[in-house]
Structure 1
Amino acid sequence: MSKYYSIRTKLIAFMLIATTLPLLASISMTFIQTKTALREQAVEENKRLIYQASTNLNNYVDNVARASLAVYNDPNFLRNLAKIPGDYRAVAEVYTTLQTIRAAVPDVFQLYLHSFAANQSTLITNPFPKREERKQAYSGSLHGKTGGDSPDIWVESAHMSHTYGFKAASPDDPARTVITLHRVIKDIPSTERLGVLAIDLNMNTIAAICGRLYDPAKEQIYVVDGQNQIIYQGRSEVNHTDALREETASELNIARSSEGTAQNVAGHFEQDRSMYVYQQLGSTYADWTIVKQIPNETLYARATTLTWNNAMIAIAALVLVIVATLFISIRITGPLKQLMRYMNQIQAGRLHVDIHLSSRDEFGVLARHFRDMMDTVNNLILREYRLEIANKTNQLKALQAQIHPHFLYNTLQSIGTLALQQQGQRAYTLLSSLSKMLRYSMRDQTCVTLREEAEHARLYLELQQERFGDRLEVDLDFAEDTLSVEMPRMTLQPLIENYFKHGADIQPGKGHISLSSRRIDDCWIEIELNNNGPSIPEDKLLDIRGWLHQNHTSTGLATQESDESESIGLRNVMRRLQLNSHPGHSARLEISNREPHGVKITVKLYAGE
């Protein structure tokens, strides 16, 4: 008995060591790989979000700049600048133009205009506009930008609002943080300066754009200028003297300088147990950068949770191993006579005899293995008949299962971009097209008409055009007398998809795809697909034509397989065409290169007599 327990102890120790070490290694590797994957995923997701936000901020600043062009769009405005001291009609027209600018731009706090010609300053603010004579513009409105090489328009970073030298409407009216767009008004086409316009903007739009980028409870967002002064930060008010921490600003400067003078500089760096993801606006008027701070405890929260879960599972597994080891060590024997009786019954032909042994010796293990062997033999015999019956159906389903929409990720990303841009109607149209395609691909139907297949191809190309825009031209021309011909479902999409897998991203110019059908004679139709992508190398083209010819000439499906995944779409199409061909009228698939570049694919289908 002592020897029995000694073996059991050794077996438990061996099982614990064999289980614990791999589990600990697996948990450690899982934690490290999960952290790395989460870090990369978070960086990529936040880069996309911040890029979209930078685009929105660029558009916002550009809209303000375009709205300020109203001073040039009004043909009388420049003349009125010289008249406004005593011409009340001119004053009213100037007020009207300024109110137009104010109405065209959201978040306008106030507008300031100074005419150098008339020595007049005007302030448009609530509750009423103000005007007074001044020989010079308010000193803070130009900020030293009056030099000959200075721009005509620029954006001043966040600062506290003021009244441009006018008396405040109310002594209790507090100052607020604003950004200001300045425009020097010139007597175009000459360079003579007629005046200066300043548009003070609230931070509401910037706050709304940035508010979608972060979780206020866990993360922080900043918008900083070229000197790293904070224009906006997510969780608190900004003082006009606030700036990024010196260490963070230094890292940001190093990261930005490493990109040289490139526009829309983006990247990330780690500091103080946080990940910083940044995106430079690249605006002509505003040298701003969006910076998002993600603490490590937020970034790796899922990895920590997963590690704890794995640890709990490991402990449960160890307990299970101990219990299983004890159970196995107790039940490894059995009586030899009972096992022999079972073997004699099997020898007599009773293959389904119930072998049931509860002994704890080695013969019990042998009996169970013998029972499993007999079950396996019986199952193999039964499976051979079932496989023979279901072979053709399973083969077709396997071929169809290999076809999937590779473009799904790009399509969802395009729809997400449209949603962020608030193009709801277009996003709904694309979602409707995608749902029709998915419903079509999941139909439990082997054959469809060319009309249905053509509609599916049109929806697929419509989604691809959303991704590539003007870089892709599509031409569809299906003859009416061919649309009722039946063909295997999901035939055209894999053929079209080859272009986007092998040619669309490296296409030097505008891509073009044409898809047409025509009736050759009373019994056959021809579907032709052309694209102007890269041509197929001659050696690979010869290989493809070789196995296509093998399928055309063989009586069944070709048995030779290829390890090259590039041709799997063509192989699946060819096999399904063969499986669903009319007896004696096998469908054909031909492929060739076009001059000077491109690929032509032709499918010939039997249309009936």
Structure 2
Amino acid sequence: MSRIRTMYRNYLKKKMFNKILLFYSMVMVLLFISVSVLAYRYYEQRVVQEQMDASLQELDIVSINLNQQYERLYNAVQQIYTDAMIGDDLKYFLTHEYEDFLNWRLNQYAYSYRTERGNFDYQLRLLLKDEASIANVVLYSMDQDFFYVLNRETQHFYYQPKLSAGHKDWFQRLRSAPWQYMGSEPLFEGKMDDVPTPYSYANVLKDSVTLKQYGAIMFELNTDRIKGLLRDRLDGKDNRIMLMTGEGQVIFDSQGKYDNTVYPYWGQMNLQEDWVNLEEPSKVQLLNIGNTGMVVAAIIPESHIKQSLQTIRLSLIGIVILCIIVSFAVTFTIIRRYSKKIHRLVLYMRRWQEGDLSKRIEMEGEDELQQISQRFNHMCDRLESYIETVYVSEIKQKNAQLVALQAQINPHFLYNTLESIRMKAISMGARDVGQMIYILATMFRHLIKKQTHVTLAEEIELCGMYLALVQYRYEDKLDVETHIENAAAGSMIVKLLIQPIIENYIVHGFRTNDDDNRISITAAEADGVIRIRVKDNGKGISAERLLELQNALHTGDETTKTSDQSLGLKNVHDRIRLNYGSDYGLHLNSVEGEGCEVTLNIPVTREEAG
């Protein structure tokens, strides 16, 4: 930490251009990094989209191939029903003993125009020749309970074989789902399989007239054609293409890992998420194959995408580092040039600070620093000519300060004089006079203070002093009531707003011959406004004069005749409007012979702390 602080003091704290260089470098680094991140995200999305498009093409290839395969196999089955010779030949084969079938066929050759082309086995061999994905054709006889397996090399009869554990209900299942998952387990025990047949297409065979079921035909299929179609497209890639049933049983896996098994992540693949958690986070595309009940899935692992972006990532890092170095070098060169100029300015300013005004700055160029140097040179010329003038001004200022200090002595002299008079009155036994002089001196100190605003409490205190003097003069003839809310007492108001109103009552409304004179002062805060009411029971104002005063106050009519009685009121009203605006001021109500009520409306203003 100490080293960092030392470096900060030496290279940053008092080095403006170093701060600029550091700040600019940080901004450029953040900018280049942000741009590179955005570029990387763009290329990442682009690569992902390209691979998704390529995978979609692969899915389309598999889908088209399976749909075409389905159409060919479906047409082959339909041909059995549409060609009477083939249908009759196959039906007799599956419903009779093999020897009876041979005799029946020989008789057909002898007594009809039947040829080899009308035989079912001939048509099936042609289908095996044309459809490379068919490994075996399996015929099942319900009446004779045998399986006849035909492939390109051999043909076998299997009488009453024992069905494998996984295919005991194969005949019931094919009625609703002609496409069957076979897996690695043969259809029945003892069946000879040279080629894996993970799936099949089967159909129940029925009599075209009675619709009685007499057997089934099954095409056991391999995945060689799918492998051939995808071999060139997936060579050297980590992308995976899988052909599965609707229950997740894998018919084909381009990587061979999950062939003939249940895919363990089948449930996750059906989630509608951007990234699916399989062996690793991956992009997944699913495509249903028509009416087959099979699904083709394309899986793109995240590691493959990152590997594809490795070159782009390294290139962006190199470009960012190069841009940062070039930007720093260019910025350092420019800032160093201006730093030298600033250093020269500082050096000359130090000489001027020491009192040497004879030096002048020579700065090349036409930039702001050159203009600053010209201004400093001009300033030095002016300073030399102003030195004597400034010296004389300082002498005059000192004389003015002496006069001001002398003027401050006069109020203190007056305070001391009043205090001497008060003490003399007390010594002579005139304590009332002494108290009145004390109140007068206190009021005088308050009045000559320089501040123009005081708290409402201070203003009320001044008014109380003034009314106390009046009560000393008119003993037992004046009652004073004061009620100030605590919330309003601390608000700041213009000095001497209330006292002139009270004085106006004492001079013009006070009844000297009566003993029931009364004045009340109240102040309350509501909705951000302080309302101060001064109410008395004095002589009051005539209706005609009251109207003139109200017009003068509310309209600002300067032509209205101003008497001594209204001068104080108008002064208070004008000062409120000048300080707080035209929304505030003084309101006057009076009934002749009953007294007068003056209301002041001013905004709440609090004294700022500190």
**Larger-Rg structure:** 2
For normalisation by structure 1, the TM-score amounts to 0.45
For normalisation by structure 2, the TM-score amounts to 0.45
